[in-house]
Structures are given as structure tokens and as C-alpha cells.
Amino acid sequence: MNNSKFVFANREAAQKSVKTAGSSRHSDILRRLLRSKSTLSAIFCICLITFLAVFGPGMNRWAYNEPRTDLRYMPPRIAGVERFGIFDGSRILKRRRAANLNDTSVYPAGSVLRVYPVFIEHGVELADAKVDVYLLNEAKNTYFWFGTDYLGRDLWTRLWMGTRLSLFIALTSVFFNTVIGTVYGAVCGYYGGKTDLLLMRVTEILDSLPQIVLFTLLIIIIGPGAWPIIAALCIRGWTGTARLVRAQFLRYKGFEFVLAARTIGAGDLRIITAHILPNAIGPVVTRAMAAIPGAIFIESFLAYLGLGVQAPEPSLGVLLADGRQLLTEMPYQTFFPALVISVLMISFNMLSIGLREALDPTRRGES
């Protein structure tokens, strides 16, 4: 037998290669979270929209509530992209006198991009024409990236200011709800007994108040605006979180590690915050994520009805409501805010699903 074919294994290297860093619970969750492509793209969309909501309004020279009455209803125009025939600041004008289309005193040179077939109505030659509205209004070097609204305000700036306000309302209310709900649920679940019974009865009463009634009353009392919406969202938005945290506390407070903590002399507050709460935090975060799109929806819903954020402040709902009047002639005024709100809500929902799966891999695919 020829032993020369065998060599001693490099034991050191072999041992080294199986050594990996131990994975903590949190890094494990993070790894699972980032493995999912849909979650990653949701995070990317949220980051992008948040970035634009913060820095978008500063990207051009227009202020969000600066009316330009000479430049109302301008179509979108973006430098560079305009060469490809989109966002080129043109609009199809219907039923114009055909003879005027060649008159440079009415339509400055080069402003008429395309003339559609001429037709005759009441003996007058009419034609539809695609016209560069920026040239027509003698604003050759002006660029409104997303166009302007009925007062000539820049829609790009207004869109991101509106997103900022919508996000602010949503995040503030969800933050308050999460904090209130966590404290309330922790107290209920930890102390139990009569305290629990009494406190949970309060949440039941709050839950049975119809949302429409709550909003209407708050609007009647405080008047329309951002703060009544936040207040209305906070009055009963926290009960779900409270119930969730309570259930977690009921589950964990009998565990050995709680007993151990108590044995070495930890007080109630320490057991609640340092020992039980970290175990309950996952579902709470998931729930908060899932609540954000709901808050965004309610904000824009009320604004859409004219009961929410008031002019001249923009919010996504205000922009959508403004755009609705012009839906058939200028769909772009509806399109951009509709896109932002839809992407935002889908992303937050996808993220909350991703979080839930990462926290509890056994429930994959249920959601």
C-alpha cells in the first residue's frame, strides 16, 4: 500500500474554518430580515421617500406656498428628460383656430410642436395642437419638474412638503400610540387582577367608539388641522398595542428568568423594563410598522374630505383632492401624489410582513 498519496490534514486550518461568530438573537433577526428581497425593496422605497421628503423641497428654487399667477397649470418639465418627449412641458390644446397656430404673435416661434388634423365646426377651421406651454408663457428657462397647480405653485416642492407632513403626522401618532400602549399593557399584564380588569374595561369602551364619530367630534372641537388628526389617532390607536403587550406580559411573567430576577432582588420596574419588555418588543415594533400606513391613510382621507390639513399647507391628501378636480385634463396632478402614497403604504405593509416573518420564522408565508 502506498502511503505517499495521503497527507496529514491541516488540523489548525480545518478547525479554524468551522469557527464562526456566534449569532445573537438580534443579528439573526436582522439577517433574516435583509435576506428577503421584498423587504429590502420596501426599506429602499421608504428611505428614498423619506430622503425626498426631507431634502426634496430644497432641491429647486420654488417655495411650496409661493403662488405664480402667471404660471398656473404648467405641465411637468424636467431638464434633460425633455428631449425624449416626456416631461417636456407640452400639452395638447383642444379646438384651437387653425389659422392662429401659425401666428407667432399668439403662439411664439417653436411653441407649436405638432398639429393634429384640421376639422371644421360652425364654419371655423379648428385643430388640436400639441403646444410647448413654457414657450407659450414666455418661461423658456423655467423648469417645474412636476408642473404647477391652480395657483402656480410648484408641485414638486408641494409634493415633498406634503409627504413630510403626512409622514410627520403618521410617525408622531404611531410613536405616541406605541409608548402609551406599551406602558398601559405592561401595567395590565404585569400586575393583573383588579387593576387589569379595570384598565382593560377602559380599552373595551374606547374600542367601541366608532372612529368616524371620534374624528368628527375632534374636528368640531379643535377645528381641522394636523393636531386634531394626531389627537384622534392617539385616543384609541393604542388599545391594540396595549392588548398585545399585555398578552406578552401574561405569557412571560411566569417564566423562570423572571423568578430568578426577583430572587436576586430586582424591583417591579426593573423586571418590567429590563427582563420582560425586551422579549415583547418584537411584536410591538411589527405592530407599529403596520400602524403607519393606517395613519397615513386616515390623514389623507380626512384631507381629501376637506376636514384635515388646511390650505396653504400641503399634505398628500390635500394634493390628491386638488388634483381630483382636474383629473381628466391634467392627470399628472393626481398621478404623482397617488404614486407616492401608494408606494409608501405598500412599503410599510411589506416591511411589517417582513419583520413579522423575521421575528417568527415558523409563521412564514401566513401573514
Partner 1 sequence: MFIYAIKRLAALVLTFFTVIVLVFCVIRLMPGNVFDDPDLTSAAREVLAEREMTGRPVLLQLADYIRRAVFYADFGVSLKIDPGVPVFSVLKQRLPITVIINFAALALALPLGILLGVAAALGRGAFSGKAVVFVTVMCVSVPSFVVAALLQYFAAYRLGLAPGLYMPSAGFFERSRSLALPVLALALAPAAIVTRLLRAELIDAQNTDFMALARAKGLSPFRAAVNHGLRYAIVPLIPVLTLMFTDILAGSLVIERIFSIPGMGRVLIDSITAKDHSLTMAVLIFYTFVELAAMFLADLALGAADPRIRLTGGKTA
Can you give the binding site for partner 1, defined by CB under 8 A? 38, 205, 208-213, 216-217, 219-221, 293, 297, 300-301, 304-307, 320, 323-324, 327-328, 331, 334, 338, 341-342, 345-346, 348-350, 353, 365-367
Separation between Cα atoms, residue 250 and residue 55, nearest integer Å: 45
- Beta-carbon contacts of residue 340 (< 8 Å; ≥ 6 apart): 49, 159, 163, 316
**How far apart are CB 173 and partner 1 at their closest, in Å?**
17
Instruction: Choose between 70 and 366: whose C-beta lies nearer to partner 1.
Output: 366
Instruction: Choose between 166 and 177: whose C-beta lies nearer to partner 1.
Output: 166
**How far apart are CB 85 and partner 1 at their closest, in Å?**
20
Nearest to 148, CA basis, from 281, 349, 332, 339? 332
Place of cell 411589527: 286
Instruction: Choose between 219 and 277: whose C-beta lies nearer to partner 1.
Output: 219
**How far apart are CB 339 and partner 1 at their closest, in Å?**
9
Instruction: Choose between 106 and 335: whose C-beta lies nearer to partner 1.
Output: 335
Instruction: Choose between 38 and 60: whose C-beta lies nearer to partner 1.
Output: 38
DSSP 6-46: -----HHHHHHHH--PPPPHHHHHHHHHHH-HHHHHHHHHH
**How far apart are CB 349 and partner 1 at their closest, in Å?**
5
Q: Give 208: exposed, middle or buried? Use CB within 10 Å, 0-12, 13-18, 19+.
A: exposed
Instruction: Choose between 258 and 358: whose C-beta lies nearer to partner 1.
Output: 358
Separation between Cα atoms, residue 215 and residue 151, nearest integer Å: 30
Angle formed at CA 333 by CA 331 and CA 337, multiple of 5 degrees: 115
**How far apart are CB 149 and partner 1 at their closest, in Å?**
16
DSSP 118-187: PEEETTEEEEEEEEEHHHHTT-TT---TT-B-TT--BHHHHHHHHHHHHHHHHHHHHHHHHHHHHHHHHH
- List of long-range contacts for 198-202, beta carbons under 8 Å, 24+ apart: 200/243, 200/246
Instruction: Choose between 99 and 205: whose C-beta lies nearer to partner 1.
Output: 205
**How far apart are CB 168 and partner 1 at their closest, in Å?**
18
**How far apart are CB 170 and partner 1 at their closest, in Å?**
13
**How far apart are CB 174 and partner 1 at their closest, in Å?**
16
Q: Give 166: exposed, middle or buried? Use CB within 10 Å, 0-12, 13-18, 19+.
A: buried
Instruction: Choose between 132 and 299: whose C-beta lies nearer to partner 1.
Output: 299
Note if the bond before 76 is cis, omega within 30 degrees. no
